[in-house]
Structure 1
C-alpha cells in the first residue's frame, strides 16, 4: 500500500494513524471525577490547573462534533490498518502463486491483484488526505470544521471498507490457485532430498561394483552427468523456479535410481553373460553334430519320394554349417566384449547368436520332421483324410445350427474345402504319389475351415 501524505510518512507510525484524544474540559472532568472530586469543585478549579494554558471553551456542540470527528478518525484508521494487513497477506499468496504457476489463470490473478492495488492506493490517498486536512487537536476548532472532518473521514472509512470487501472476494477466488501452489511447494523439499539420496545411493552402488573388479565406466559417465544437476538443485527454486526444480529433482531421482539398480545388478549381469556364453557355445557344437545328420535324411527322401517332397530342403546342410560358423564367430566377439566389460555389446552379440542358432535348429529339424510326416502319410493316408473331413463336417454343423439354410458366406468356403480335399486325395493315385503336396493341401483346407468357424462364432457372439 503506497500513499503520500502532506507531511513525512513513517511506515511504522504514520501521522495519519496516531490516535489523538482531546484534552479539553470533558477529559479533565472525567479524570478528576475518577479521583473522587465533586463536579462543583471541578468547575471551580482555576484554569492554571491544566498545567499551563487551556483550550478555550466554545460550548458543548463543538466538543460533541470534535468527539464524533475523532471517533470517525479512529474508525478510518482501523479500516486502513485492516485493509493494509489484508493486502500484505494477499501479496504473499500472489507471490507464492507466481513462484509456482505460470498458467493463464495465474497471470490473470496477478493482473487483477495489480488492479486492486490501484484501487487500494486511491482509497488510501482519500483517507490520508482527509486526516491531513483536519487538525482535530486545534484549540479553536469550530463545530462546522469538526463536522466536515467527520463527514470526510467517514467517507474515507466507507471507501476503505468497500475496497476491503473487493479484496476479500478476490482472495476467496484464489483458493484453487493457492492450493495448487502450496501443494507444489510442499513437494519441493522432499523431492530435492530424494534426488540427493538417490545420487548418494547410486555412488555407493557404483563403488561396491568396482570393488568386485568391474570397471562400470558407462555407469560412472552417466552418474557424472548428474553432477551439474545436483548443483542446480542446491542453488534452489528461487533461482531456477519451483516447477523447473521439481521436474529436475524427479528426473535426477529417476536417472540416479536407474544407475544404482544397474550397478547393483552388474556382478550378476557379468556372471549371467558368462553362463550364456558357455550355454550357446555348447548349443552351437550340438547343432554342428545334428547338421551332419541332415544329409542321410535327404538321401532317404530322394530315394523314396518325388522331388517335390525334398527339393526345398536341399540347401539345409550347407546353410546350417554356415549359420553355425557365423554363430561361433559372434560368440568369439561376445567373449571379447565380456572380457573388456562392454556389457551392452556382449548382450547384443549373444542375442544375435541365439537368433542364428534358433534358425539353424528349425532348418535342421525340418528335414527329420519331413521324413516322419511323409512316412506316416505313405503308410496310412486315410488318417489324414479323416482328420480333414472331420474338421469340415464340424464346421458345417456349426454353420447350420439354428438355421434352415446356411449363410452363403460360410457355406461357400466350406463347399470349396470339400472340393479341394477331393482333389488332394486324387493326387495319391498313380505310381509316384506326391505325398508332400497332399499334406500341404490338407493342412491348407483345415486352416480355411478354422477361419470359417472363427467368423461364425464371432458373428454370433456379437449378435448375442
Structure 2
C-alpha cells in the first residue's frame, strides 16, 4: 500500500508538527545554559594563545622576582662604578696635565690597572645579564635561581672594585689638590699677561704721541708676540706648567716695558739735566786743574820729593781726563738727540766716572798740602790719635782675660813698634812727613782689624 500524505486538517498532521515544534525551544535553552561554563573553560586557553605567561605557581614567580631584584641591584652597582670611574678619570687627566712628577706617573699607571679590573667586573656583569632572560614566559624556578646567584656575584664584584677605586681616589688628594691649585692660577695668570701686554702697548702709544721714540721698547714688545700666540693656543697644547710659566714671564716683561715707557719722558728730562750738570762740572774741573800747579810748586818748595812726586803729573792727567769726559758728553748729546736712551745713559755714566777721577786727583794735591801743613805744625796730634787707637784695642783684648790672646797681642805689639819708628822718622833736618802720615794711618787700619776680629769672635761665642 501506498501511504498517503497526511492532510492538513487531519489530527495526525498537527500533532506531528507540534512534537517537532516543542523539541526546538528546549534545545535552545539547554545550549544557552551551557554557554557560560564552556566559555569559562575556554578563556585560559584563549589568553595563553595571545602571548601571556603560563601560570606555574608561586615558587617560580618568587624566584623570578628575586632574580629581578638581584639584576636591579647589580645594575645600580654597575652605574655607580661607571660614574665613579668617569669622575676619577677627569681627576687623573687634571693631574697629568699639570704634574709630570714620578708620583703623578705612578698614579696614572695605578688608575690604568684598576681600569682593567673594572673592565673585567663589568664584563662579568654584562655576561650575567645577557645569559638570563627574566622576561621569558617559560622561565623555570631553577633558571631564575641561577640568574639570581650569578647576578649577585656580579654585583658583589662590582662593589668590591668600587671600594678599591674609592680608596685609590682618596689617595689622590694631595696630587689633585696641587693640580687644581695650578689650574686655578692658570686663567688669572693668562689674563694678567694679556692685560700687561695691552697696558705696555698703550704706554708706547702715549710716548709716541708725545713725540718721543721708543724703538727699543717697541722691539721688546714685538718679541712677546709669539708668546701671546702660544698663550692663546692654551694649556692643552703647551701644558699647564709651561703655560703658567709663560704667562708669568710675559706679564713680568710686559710690565717692565710699560714702566719704562711711562718713565721715558722723565728719563729724557733727567738726561737733559745730567748733560747740563756734567758740562758745568767739566768746566769747573778745568779751572781747578789749572790751580794744581801752584799747589805743587809750594809742595816742592817746602817738603821733600817723597811728599809730592806722585802728584807731579796731576795737571796734565786732569786736563786729558776732562777732555775725554767732554768727548763722551758730546756723544751723549748726539745719542739724546737721536733718542737712543740706553746709549745716552751709558755715555753719561762714563763721562761722570772720568770727571770723578779728575776731581779726586785735583783734590788730592790740595789735601796733601793741607795735611802736610798740619803735621809739620803739630805732629803730636797725629801721634796721640794713633796711640789712643792702640790703647783702646789693648784694653779690649785684655777684657775678661789674664793674658791676651797671642793672635791679638802680636799685631798690637807690632803696631806700637811701627808707630815708634814713624815718630823717629820725624827727627832730622828734612823729615818725610808724608811717610809719617801714611805709617800712622796704616797702624790705625791694622788696629781696627784686630778690634773687628775680637768682637766677631766674642759675638760668635756669645751666640753659641
User: For the superposition of Structure 1 and Structure 2, which TM-score range results when normalised by the shorter chain?
Assistant: 0.7 to 0.9
- Matched position secondary structure for 2:54: coil
**Do residues 428 (structure 1) and 426 (structure 2) align?**
yes
Structure 1: gaps (5+ residues): 1-41
Measure the CA separation in 2 of the matches of 1:395 and 1:239.
70
Contact 1:185 1:242 in 2 (8 A): yes
Paired position in structure 1 for 2:143: 145
1:297 aligned residue: 295
Written as runs of structure 1 = structure 2, the 5 A alignment for 1:159-238 is 159-238=157-236
3-state secondary structure, aligned to 2:401: coil
Q: TM-score, normalised by structure 2?
A: 0.87
Q: How does 1:48-447 map to 2 (within 5 A)?
A: 48=46, 52-447=50-445
Q: Are the aligned partners of 2:121 and 2:154 in contact in 1 as well (CA < 8 Å)?
A: yes
Q: Which sits farther off after the overlay, 264-273 or 62-71?
A: 62-71
Aligned length: 423
Query: For the residues of structure 1 that align with 2:59 and 2:42, how far apart are their CA atoms?
Result: 22
RMSD: 2.0
Find the aligned partners of 2:442 and 2:135 in 1 and give their Cα distance: 114
Q: Distance in 2 between matches of 1:47 and 1:175?
A: 65
- 1:322 is displaced (CA, Å) by 0.6
Structure 1 runs of 4+ off > 6 angstroms? 42-45
Query: Residue 323 of structure 1: CA displacement?
Result: 0.4
Shift of 1:417: 1.9
Distance 2:109 2:53 in 1: 52
Uncovered stretches (5+) of structure 2, i.e. residues with no partner? 1-39
Q: Is the 8 A contact 2:48 2:54 kept in 1?
A: no
Which residue pairs with 2:447 in the alignment? 449
Query: Is 1:462 aligned to 2:456, yes or no?
Result: no
Greater mean alpha carbon deviation, residues 289-298 or residues 71-80: 71-80
Q: CA deviation at 1:181?
A: 2.0
Distance of 1:329 and 1:298 partners within structure 2: 28
CA contact (8 A) 1:47 1:53 kept: no
Q: Is the 8 Å Cα contact of residues 60 and 141 (structure 2) preserved in structure 1? A: yes
Is the CA contact 2:275–2:348 (under 8 Å) kept in the aligned structure 1? yes
Alpha-carbon displacement from aligned partner over 1:292-333 (angstroms, at most 9, x marks no partner): 010000000111111111111111111111100100011101
**Alignment TM-score, normalising by the size of structure 1:** 0.87
Distance 2:234 2:41 in 1: 72
Q: Distance in 1 between matches of 2:101 and 2:41?
A: 71
1:450/1:101 Cα in 2 relative to 1: closer, same or farther (>3 Å)?
closer
CA offsets 1:344-388 (integer angstroms, 9 cap, x no match): 111111111111111111111111111111111111112222222
> Alpha carbons of 1:54 and 1:436: their partners in 2 closer, same or farther (altered >3 Å)?
closer
